[in-house]
Structure 1
């Protein structure tokens, strides 16, 4: 089915009213993009921040009258004509197109992340089957990759794991495939817990090895290894809790941190942990430590 895109350059202040006007004019979807290379690295919980210069795209059936839509849009915006352009969107098999760009990822000497529709490049390696889905975490982001790389390089046989902010469950599942005994997977999002359980089954892990919890329901049981790949602000506030969840002599792995935030995060955990030198990838940092 062919489509038309109406692309509008907007300020942050006008973005929501333009979104409403597009939907009222018949757009089947509306997307927002950064229009000035202004990254938003750490929104507060529950926030959906926008860029100061935002590009808004409304998707329309190609059979609509572009003149009618732009007239309706201008009327709804109080007579103010936005900075816009129409553009055709080529009709493709978008699912197949997207799948071609998602390839296996090597995360160390042993571990690969493989989409289910491709054969593992090294069948004898440890291959985690993971498809993009409802929750964050496919191994492509630097923070996830850094954590996976670290897990691949440590001894996990028989260890117990806590994955705090588990998302897709990728880190806990990787730890189990690498030899860990069991994992408590904790997240504030019900969809993340569903995705974690689904991914565990896809990787043929027994349900009793991958236990999922909302934070208020999670058992206060210390484990050999605690992983938290979230954001710097929550990591700082969670320092006492994550310390209590780590056994003495156990390991801690923190990520989701940009390089300028590393010292603040390490300071929050310094009363309990001795840190290794930070590891970095692009502008992101992974912190690992041993509990005293």
Structure 2
């Protein structure tokens, strides 16, 4: 184990897969890490054709997909590490996490306190340009800018599940529509819907995520009601659209709840669905008389836009 030293941090680097990357990052943050970096070798290849302002400032990376978190050397850091190892193993029941190998490295505070910003660059997804607040890229004509600082919540715009939702959202979030964003995480989808002109209520059961979402909504100067809650409980007014970018098991749980909370002709935008469980989600939608009108897939992830059949 690493020797404890004042003013030093431990870099916890987890070798995993792109599918499990953001969930592993979430576990690192919940463990107490004060920053998370996603090392995706594919990113540098795909951005070579982009304008210079959208390219990362660091050189090309190689090797497997990794997620690194930075944990302070406190008296209980080893206990936190053991807890993280257990939780990563538990994640195998839901997602393909790869080897899950953890490596440790001692780092000076000044080495990571600002360097992590180099990994966050603007990214175009559908009609949206997602950028960290410290950069000011020029949006294309009709492009909608979302400013989003990485925080202790899922949803930075880089994960396929979030990108699929952003691609489908303009088809469903109409100006003046009431939208529920369930499991809002960073608030990125709530912000996108609000910028499309919808009235948005964002919900997350994690108060830390709700606080991050509220901060990001303020950063983007959009009016979004952010609440702490459990799925659609306590939301009574029928909505025109329910967004659920969460795990397949939770989407299946949410489907029957959505029926009485949708207007006639209302839609459900469901993502976070790993390909191996897509059939289960489709069956649940069919059983609840939802008709899938649009579907998208990226890598091993799917998203469905569905409306109640016959409504």
Name the TM-score, length of structure 1 as normaliser: 0.71
Shift of 1:269: 1.9
Larger Rg: 1
- 1:152-211: per-residue Cα shift (whole Å, max 9, x none)? 34451111100111101111110000111x2121111001110111111111123xx423
- 1:54-76: per-residue Cα shift (whole Å, max 9, x none)? 533334479xxxxxxxxxxxxxx
Q: Which residue of 2 aligns with 1:248?
A: 264
Contact 2:206–2:228, Cα closer than 8 Å, also in 1: no
How many residue pairs were aligned?
A: 236
Tell whether 2:190 aligns with 1:212.
no
Tell whether 2:192 aligns with 1:174.
yes
Against the structure 1 CA distance between its residues 120 and 246, is the aligned structure 2 distance closer, same or farther, given a 3 Å change threshold?
A: farther
Q: Which residue of 1 aligns with 2:10?
A: 29
Secondary structure (helix, strand or coil) at the match of 1:163 reads strand
Secondary structure (helix, strand or coil) at the match of 1:156 reads coil
Q: Which residue of 2 aligns with 1:159?
A: 177
Tell whether 2:128 aligns with 1:111.
yes
Contact 2:210–2:226, Cα closer than 8 Å, also in 1: no
Tell whether 2:254 aligns with 1:238.
yes
Secondary structure (helix, strand or coil) at the match of 1:194 reads helix
C-alpha RMSD of the superposition: 3.1
In 1: Cα distance, 2:104 partner to 2:213 partner: 33
Against the structure 1 CA distance between its residues 179 and 61, is the aligned structure 2 distance closer, same or farther, given a 3 Å change threshold?
A: closer
Contact 1:278–1:288, Cα closer than 8 Å, also in 2: yes
Q: Which residue of 2 aligns with 1:129?
A: 147
Q: Which residue of 2 aligns with 1:97?
A: 115
Secondary structure (helix, strand or coil) at the match of 1:116 reads coil
Which of 277, 280, 300 does residue 283 from structure 1 map onto? 300
Q: Which residue of 1 aligns with 2:38?
A: none
Moved over 4 A (4+): 37-43, 51-54
Q: Which residue of 1 aligns with 2:87?
A: 48
Larger mean CA deviation between 161-170 and 144-153 belongs to 144-153
Structure 2: 5+ residue runs without aligned partners?
31-85, 90-96
- 1:126-145: per-residue Cα shift (whole Å, max 9, x none)? 21111111111111000000
Contact 1:193–1:213, Cα closer than 8 Å, also in 2: yes
In 2: Cα distance, 1:102 partner to 1:250 partner: 35
Contact 1:230–1:256, Cα closer than 8 Å, also in 2: yes
In 1: Cα distance, 2:298 partner to 2:284 partner: 22
Secondary structure (helix, strand or coil) at the match of 2:12 reads strand
In 2: Cα distance, 1:111 partner to 1:230 partner: 21
Q: Which residue of 2 aligns with 1:58?
A: 104
Q: Which has the higher contact order (CA 8 A, sep 6+)?
A: 2
In 2: Cα distance, 1:115 partner to 1:38 partner: 21
Name the TM-score, length of structure 2 as normaliser: 0.67
- 1:59-108: per-residue Cα shift (whole Å, max 9, x none)? 4479xxxxxxxxxxxxxxxxxxxxxxxxxxxx974344322231212122
Contact 2:180–2:239, Cα closer than 8 Å, also in 1: yes
1:215-230 to structure 2, matched below 5 A, reads: 215=230, 218-230=234-246
